Structure 1
Amino acid sequence: MSVELPANGTVQGLRERKKERTRRTIRFEAFRLFREQGYNETTVEQIAAAADVSPSTFFRYFPTKEQLVLADDLDPLMIDALRRQPRDVAPMVALRNVVAEVFGNLPVAELAFEQERQALLYHVPELRSAIGLEIVRGIDLIAGLLADHLGRAADDFEVRVASGALAGAALAISTITPMNVDNITRALDFLGAGLPLGPAREAGQG
């Protein structure tokens, strides 16, 4: 009787799942330590010990402690969801659908984690210096997605401007309010309507 070895894809799948568990454990323990003793006061060595890995293993997953906060786990979900949107759907509508899908299916714990990540990124002074790089990364990511959806080039002027507006909107709402489906959808609707910014309404006005 011959023994059939598992397909390479199966082995790779097990390895990938193990790597993802290790990565999530490192981030979970890091954020717990950030809450308990502060971002600056937490060292890579402490995070590695809490996650039961070596510092060298930590650096295989995250080049720096800063990158541990910058890494956005929602990006792959958003990319996959947008690629499944019909090409004849307007970009803002497609993005609205994507936000509703991704955030609507996000477990409560993962949404809380993302909101905590955003809070750290925009309110810890030592991390704020990285916001510029994060915005550029966001613009590049959005431009690639919009270009793919529209069949245009990622460096197309209008695609880049639209991407910058979307990335800027995400930054603006993240600094003042939780990042959730309602706030993101509201921002997308406002942008899609052409930024109809008027004077403040008087009390009692509809």
Structure 2
Amino acid sequence: MTSSLPAGLRERKKAKTRAAIRDHAMRLFEEQGWAATTVEQIAEAAEVSPSTFFRYFPTKEDVILTDDYDPMIVAAIKAQPPGTPPVRALANAMREVFHNLTPEEWESERRRQRIYQSVPELRAAAMNQTVSAIELLAAALAEREGRPPDDRKSRVIAGALVGVVLAIVPPGGREFDPADFSEVEEALDMLEDEFKLR
């Protein structure tokens, strides 16, 4: 029987390796540009093999496009108290996750956003990921409400929240910042008044 300590250590080592790969990748992208940076260079800088790189990120694009906070937001949605209206559950979950980030984690997230906003093909791919984000959030809301995964109400609410974020911080503009949460909540209040989504 394996003890929990080695398993915990393994998970921490994996998280540390993943963070190191991403950090070195972002540094190289900033120093020599997106197109000029290869997976081999990233792997060498992070002191891992290319095959190890691909275990953590299937492609070079995934280093930037993978949003590590989506699973945390989903877990926070599901953990909201029973009876919390769906839109409020989404807003609370986002606030809980992002307000608990350390300054270093926020800086890493800002770097990631700056990089994908500065590379046209990454910016386009990130926009395409909004559909996946809507599906992910909608499924979490539906599960929380005891509805089927393709529940239309959950999809509409998730789409509205993603639309609010895009309206406040349009693609290609500045990166999302903790201060933007007050604007997100004001916009959600507008939705509540206009459409009674909560």
TM-score category by the smaller chain? 0.7 to 0.9
Equivalent residue, structure 2, for 1:191: 188
Q: Is the 8 A contact 2:87 2:157 kept in 1?
A: no
Equivalent residue, structure 2, for 1:181: 178
Equivalent residue, structure 2, for 1:112: 107
Deviation by residue 1:39-74 (Cα, 9 ceiling, x = unmatched): 111111110010001111111111100011111111
Deviates more, 1:62-71 or 1:153-162: 153-162
* Greater share of helix: 2
Name the SS for the 1:194 alignment partner: helix
Alpha-carbon distance in structure 1 between the residues aligned to 2:88 and 2:192: 16
Deviation by residue 1:141-162 (Cα, 9 ceiling, x = unmatched): 1111211232222212222122
Alpha-carbon distance in structure 2 between the residues aligned to 1:168 and 1:123: 21
Equivalent residue, structure 1, for 2:120: 125
Q: Is the 8 A contact 2:43 2:50 kept in 1?
A: yes
Q: Is the 8 A contact 1:33 1:47 kept in 2?
A: yes
Cα distance, 1:95–1:116 mapped onto 2, change above 3 Å = same
Equivalent residue, structure 2, for 1:71: 66
Q: Give the counterpart letter for 2:18 in structure 1.
A: R
Name the SS for the 2:191 alignment partner: coil
Q: Which has the higher contact order (CA 8 A, sep 6+)?
A: 2
Name the SS for the 2:179 alignment partner: helix
1:174 Cα offset (Å): 4.9
Q: Give the counterpart letter for 1:70 in structure 2.
A: L
Name the SS for the 1:78 alignment partner: helix
Q: TM-score with structure 2 length normalisation?
A: 0.86
Alpha-carbon distance in structure 1 between the residues aligned to 2:58 and 2:188: 35
Q: Is the 8 A contact 1:154 1:160 kept in 2?
A: no
Percent of aligned positions that are identical? 45
Q: Give the counterpart letter for 1:78 in structure 2.
A: I
1:30 Cα offset (Å): 0.5
Choose which of 169, 175, 178 in structure 1 pairs with 2:164: 169
Q: What is the correspondence of 1:71-110 to structure 2 with a 5 Å cutoff?
A: 71-110=66-105
Gaps in structure 2 of 5+ consecutive residues: none
Alpha-carbon distance in structure 1 between the residues aligned to 2:125 and 2:88: 30
Deviation above 6 Å: which 4+ runs of structure 1? none
Cα distance, 1:95–1:163 mapped onto 2, change above 3 Å = closer
Deviation by residue 1:126-175 (Cα, 9 ceiling, x = unmatched): 21331343112101111112112322222122221222222233334152
2:56 equivalent to 1:61: yes
Deviates more, 1:174-183 or 1:49-58: 174-183
Q: Give the counterpart letter for 1:149 in structure 2.
A: R
**Of the two, which has the highest radius of gyration?**
1
Q: Give the counterpart letter for 2:190 in structure 1.
A: A
Alpha-carbon distance in structure 2 between the residues aligned to 1:16 and 1:151: 32
RMSD: 2.2
Deviation by residue 1:179-205 (Cα, 9 ceiling, x = unmatched): 1233134224313422889xxxxxxxx
Deviates more, 1:177-186 or 1:42-51: 177-186
